[in-house]
């Protein structure tokens, strides 16, 4: 297949690109390098040094002989979105090209507005480009489990059968997201579902849990192929952050009592899930939703797992929760469709955590401890510049 990966320079976009290339697909990437710009803005950077995108592409070509086409531009530019679809003519488009951090979207008005404009408008431009160029292209969009919130019922895979006043219907699962970022993902999903229903497009929405891990089989082939490893309180995922805190002797900072439950997935399973979705496309007119997780744990349980695996003393510290969320809640997520397509999950284990310890020890000198503490408060709207 020909597969275009949008946001191909990012934490997940880059290893997905390599995984699809290694699987025999012809791959192109597009990126505007906004994620690298956020580092400059926030004064932090990936724990693991990362090469420029063009350099990484050259290394992959050197190792494998496989070419990866590269486009540089912004999806909020409708002409750019149309051009890359028209030129590359993909069979599938993997859409990672969005601002992905809930805390970033909650910094102030400017960051909330930027997040929604970037994510929603870019996604709309992509839908129009596909509809105008080739409606048979399969859109695989990365969503988030956080869009569902924490309802007091089981979370189904995108749809819910309801009965009301004696009548039945199938409706999109009701969502109560917890940040302006998560709201942008809800808007994306509604726009994509509408486009499938009205324009007869085909799309798969991958509502993914918290990703952990630093390497895939492809990125491990050469250190110059490394992907990002974020640890700060704005972009760092919680398990990765706990690992770094343990290694540098910092308390593991649990927000509140830690009863908040998170769906989780290994980065190796993320790239495999995307491959499965691309190779088994939705039907024309179909908007399908896969809940892309392999297990779930409370934040406190994640901290305890890291503390138990670390060969040394670790202290867990409870901080006032800067987010507005339930301290303890029901959580049961249906996630069968990717298993049915052939996913064989990697579950969290001491072996994986220990491998993360090794990566962190190697680059511990790059950690900025002050970046680990939360600096964005959901409860106090701030004026943006």
- Rounded mean pLDDT, 72-79: 98
Asked if residue 11 belongs to a domain, the reply is: yes
Contact 47, 360 (CB under 8 A): yes
Asked if residue 165 belongs to a domain, the reply is: yes
Q: Which of 260, 280, 266, 261 is nearest to 92 (CA)?
A: 280
- Is pLDDT of 163 > 60? yes
Contact 119, 191 (CB under 8 A): no
- Is pLDDT of 351 > 70? no
| Domain extent for 290 | 2-372
Asked if residue 381 belongs to a domain, the reply is: no
Instruction: Quote the pLDDT of residue 349.
Output: 75
Asked if residue 178 belongs to a domain, the reply is: yes
Contact 253, 373 (CB under 8 A): yes
CA 364 – CA 260 distance, rounded (Å): 28
List alpha helices for 257-349, DSSP H. Answer: 267-279, 299-309, 337-341
Contact 29, 9 (CB under 8 A): yes
Instruction: Quote the pLDDT of residue 261.
Output: 96
| Residues in contact with 229: Cβ distance below 8 Å, sequence separation at least 6, in sequence order | 11, 46, 47, 48, 214, 240, 359, 363
| Residues in contact with 265: Cβ distance below 8 Å, sequence separation at least 6, in sequence order | 208, 209, 210, 211, 212, 273, 292, 293, 294, 345
Instruction: Quote the pLDDT of residue 339.
Output: 97
Catalytic residues: 144, 181, 185
Asked if residue 234 belongs to a domain, the reply is: yes
What tokens appear for 103 in the block?
């805390």
Compute how many other C-beta atoms are within 10 angstroms of the C-beta atom of residue 283. 10
Q: Is 298 helix (H, G, I), strand (E, B) or coil?
A: strand
CATH of the domain at 222: 3.40.50.720
What is the tally of structural domains in the chain? 1
Confidence of residue 324 (pLDDT cuts 50, 70, 90): very high
Average of per-residue pLDDT values in the chain: 96
Asked if residue 10 belongs to a domain, the reply is: yes
- Is pLDDT of 353 > 90? no
Contact 148, 100 (CB under 8 A): no
The torsion angle over the Cα atoms of residues 304, 253, 111 and 30, rounded to 10 degrees, is: -40
pLDDT tens-digit profile of 5-27?
999 999 999 999 999 999 999 99
- Is pLDDT of 383 > 80? no
Instruction: Quote the pLDDT of residue 384.
Output: 57
List alpha helices for 23-167, DSSP H. Answer: 34-42, 53-64, 78-88, 102-105, 109-116, 122-133
Residue ranges with strand state E in 130-172: 138-144, 159-164, 167-172
What tokens appear for 268 in the block?
């190796």
Asked if residue 143 belongs to a domain, the reply is: yes
| Residues in contact with 56: Cβ distance below 8 Å, sequence separation at least 6, in sequence order | 14, 50, 224, 225
CA 88 to chain centre: 24
pLDDT tens-digit profile of 102-146?
999 999 999 999 999 999 999 999 999 999 999 999 999 999 999
Contact 331, 288 (CB under 8 A): no
- Is pLDDT of 184 > 70? yes
Asked if residue 368 belongs to a domain, the reply is: yes
Instruction: Quote the pLDDT of residue 385.
Output: 52
CA 346 – CA 89 distance, rounded (Å): 34
Q: Which of 300, 181, 291, 293 is nearest to 239 (CA)?
A: 300
What tokens appear for 187 in the block?
């808007």
pLDDT tens-digit profile of 244-296?
999 999 999 999 999 999 999 999 999 999 999 999 999 999 999 999 999 99
- Rounded mean pLDDT, 208-215: 93
């Amino acid at each position: 297949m020909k597969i275009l990966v949008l946001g191909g320079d990012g934490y997940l976009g880059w290893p997905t690109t390599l995984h699809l290339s290694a699987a025999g697909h012809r791959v192109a990437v597009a990126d505007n390098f906004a994620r690298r710009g956020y580092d400059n803005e926030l004064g932090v950077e990936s724990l693991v040094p990362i090469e420029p995108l063009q350099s990484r592409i050259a290394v992959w070509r050197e190792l494998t002989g496989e070419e990866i086409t590269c486009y540089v531009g912004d999806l909020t530019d409708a002409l750019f979105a149309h051009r890359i679809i028209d030129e590359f003519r993909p069979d599938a488009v993997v859409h990672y090209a969005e601002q992905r951090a809930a805390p970033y979207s909650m910094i102030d008005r400017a960051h909330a507005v930027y997040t929604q404009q970037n994510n929603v408008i870019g996604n709309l431009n992509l839908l129009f480009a596909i509809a105008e160029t080739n409606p048979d292209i399969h859109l695989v969009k990365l969503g988030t489990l956080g869009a569902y919130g924490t309802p007091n019922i089981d979370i189904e895979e995108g749809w819910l059968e309801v009965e009301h006043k004696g009548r039945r219907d199938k409706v999109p699962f009701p969502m109560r997201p917890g940040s302006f970022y998560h709201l942008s993902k809800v808007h994306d999903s509604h726009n994509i579902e509408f486009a499938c229903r009205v324009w007869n497009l085909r799309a798969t929405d991958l509502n993914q849990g918290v990703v952990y891990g630093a390497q895939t089989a492809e990125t491990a082939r050469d250190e110059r192929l490394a992907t990002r490893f974020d640890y700060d309180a704005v972009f760092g995922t919680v398990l990765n952050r706990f690992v770094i805190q343990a290694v540098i002797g910092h308390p593991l900072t649990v927000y509140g009592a830690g009863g908040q439950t998170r769906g989780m997935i290994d980065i190796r399973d993320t790239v495999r899930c995307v491959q499965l979705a691309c190779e088994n496309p939705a039907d024309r007119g179909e908007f399908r939703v896969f809940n892309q997780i392999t297990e779930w744990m409370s934040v406190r349980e994640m901290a305890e797992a890291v503390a138990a695996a670390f060969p040394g003393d670790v202290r867990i510290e409870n901080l006032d929760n800067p987010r507005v969320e339930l301290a303890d809640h029901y959580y049961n997520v249906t996630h069968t469709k990717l298993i049915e397509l052939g996913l064989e999950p990697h579950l969290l284990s001491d072996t994986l955590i220990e491998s993360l310890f090794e990566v962190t020890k190697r680059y511990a000198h790059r950690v900025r401890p002050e970046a680990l503490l939360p600096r964005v408060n959901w409860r106090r709207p701030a004026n943006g510049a």
